[in-house]
Amino acid sequence: MKVLYLIDSLKAYGAENSLVQTAIRFKKITPVFVHLNPNNDFKDVIISHGIKVYSLNGNVNATRSFYLNQLQQIFEKEKPQIIHSVLFKADLIAREFRKMRSDFLLVGSLVSNSYSKNRYRLLSPISRFKLFITQMKDKSRIGLVDYFISNSEAIVNPNVKALGISYQKIKVIHRGRDFKKLEENIPEEFRERFQNKTLFLTVGRLVRSKGQIDLIEAFSELSKINSNLVLLIAGDGPQYSELEKLIIDLGLEGKAFLLGFRNDIRRLLKFTDYFLFASYYEGLSGALIEAILMGKPCIVSDISENRECFPEGNGLYFKPGNISEIKAKIEMALKLDFKKQIKENYDFAVSHFSIDQTAAKYEKFYQSII
C-alpha cells in the first residue's frame, strides 16, 4: 500500500519532523513525500531511507493550477491509495485535487488548536477577521476529506466545533519521539559560559503564540531578585528582531539569549536545568515531550494540549500570558524537588509517545480504512 504525503514544506518544524520520523519507520506502508514550497531540511533524511521526495518548489505567486498539474503527474506515476495532507496550504490543494478525481482516500491532519479562543484573542481586529475568513474557507471544504488524524485528544473537540467535522472521521494518534537515543554531548559553547548558572530553555518558532515575550518579561522581574538565572530561547521566526530589542530594552543582555534555529535540542536540554513552554495554543508539542524524556522539570502554560503530555496531577502550570504567574511558578520550581515527578512523567511519555508505537498506529489506521 502506498501513501502520498502532501505537505507545505519540509522545514525543520514540529509537524514536519514528527511526520518524517514516523514515516521512515513504516514496515508495511510505502510513503511518498510531496512538498509544495522550496524548504527541504528533511529531504536528505527521507531519501536516505529509500523514500521518494518530490519538490514542487512553488513560491508565494504560485497558482493553484501550478500545484494541481504537478500533483496530477505525480499521482499518475505513483498511484497511491491514500493522499494524506499536512498543514493548511497542502490541505487546500489536496481538497481541490479530490474534486478532480475520486480514486483515492483523502486523509487530513489536525495538528493544532488553530481556531481557539486563545489564538483569536492574540490578534488585532483585522487579523481576527482574516483568521475567521480562513476558518470559513477551511470549513467549506471539510466534506471532501474522508478521515483525519489528530495528534492529540485535546484538539479534537475544538476542531469539531470550529470546522464541523464528524467525530467518526477522526483518529487520535499522538506525536512520537525516539526515547532510545537520549544521550547527547553538551554543546561546547555552553560548558564554560554558564557555569554555576541556573538555565531555563524554551523551544519554539518565534511567533506571538509561543509566548517568548511573556517569558522575557517574567525574567526581567526575576533577574532583579536572582541574578543567577539565564533564559535560553531556541528557534527562529518573524519575531526575532522584536525579541532582540525587548531583551536590550529590559537590560537582559547576558541573561536572556536568542539561539536561533538549533538542530541539537536534546544537547541543549541535557545542559539546561528547567524547560519552559508558554504557548497559547498547540497541537501536541514535540519539544515538550522531548524535555520530559530528557528528565527536565517543566513549567508550562495551562492549556489542555500541554496537560495531555503529563500524568494526572503532574506538571507545573501557569495561565497563558500571565507574567506574574509565570514568575511565581518559576520561583516555586526553584524550591521544589522534582525527582518523583520526573520519573512519573518519563514513564508516562514512554508509554504514550514512543515513535515506534506511533508509526505502527499510523500503518494500522491506513490498513483499516482501505
| pLDDT digit string, tens, across residues 285-340 | 889 999 999 999 999 999 999 999 999 888 899 999 999 999 999 999 999 999 99
- Angle (CA) 266-218-281 rounded to 5° is 60
Amino acid in position 367:
Q
Cβ-proximal residues to 129 (8 Å cutoff; 6+ apart), any chain = none
The label of the residue with cell 514512543 reads 354
Reported as a single tens digit per residue, the pLDDT across 140-174 is 999 999 999 999 999 999 999 999 999 999 999 99
Reported as a single tens digit per residue, the pLDDT across 53-102 is 999 988 878 899 999 999 999 999 999 999 999 999 999 999 999 999 99
205 against 39, higher pLDDT: 205
The pLDDT, as a whole number, for residue 181 is: 61
pLDDT band at 15 (very low <50, low <70, confident <90, very high): confident
Task: Please give the span between the terminal C-alpha atoms of the chain, in angstroms, as a whole number.
Answer: 9
Under CATH, what is the fold of the domain 188-352?
Answer: Rossmann fold (3.40.50)
Strand partners, 277: 300
The closest of 80, 113, 106 to 91, measured between CA atoms, is 106
The pLDDT, as a whole number, for residue 183 is: 58
- CATH classification of 2-176+354-369 is 3.40.50.2000, yes or no? yes
- Angle (CA) 134-136-137 rounded to 5° is 65
Crossing angle, helix 14-23 and helix 286-293, to 10 degrees? 70
DSSP H or E stretch at residue 137: helix 125-140
Q: Decide whether 2-176+354-369 matches 188-352 in CATH topology.
A: yes
The pLDDT, as a whole number, for residue 303 is: 95
The pLDDT, as a whole number, for residue 358 is: 95
Q: How far apart are the C-alpha atoms of 153 and 277, rounded to whole Å? A: 19
The closest of 223, 324, 185, 345 to 275, measured between CA atoms, is 345
> What is the value of pTM for the model shown?
0.89
Q: How far apart are the C-alpha atoms of 174 and 171, rounded to whole Å? A: 10
The pLDDT, as a whole number, for residue 184 is: 61
Q: What is the mean pLDDT of the chain?
A: 93
- What does each C-alpha distance from 279 to 122, 213, 229, 261, 321 come to in angstroms? 11, 11, 21, 18, 9
The pLDDT, as a whole number, for residue 186 is: 65
| Torsion angle in degrees (nearest 10) through CA of 227, 229, 234, 238 | -40
Q: Has residue 41 got a pLDDT over 90? A: no
Q: How far apart are the C-alpha atoms of 302 and 281, rounded to whole Å? A: 10
Instruction: Name the residue ranges covered by the structural domains of the chain.
Output: 2-176+354-369, 188-352
Reported as a single tens digit per residue, the pLDDT across 215-274 is 999 999 999 899 899 999 999 999 999 999 999 999 999 899 999 998 888 888 988 999
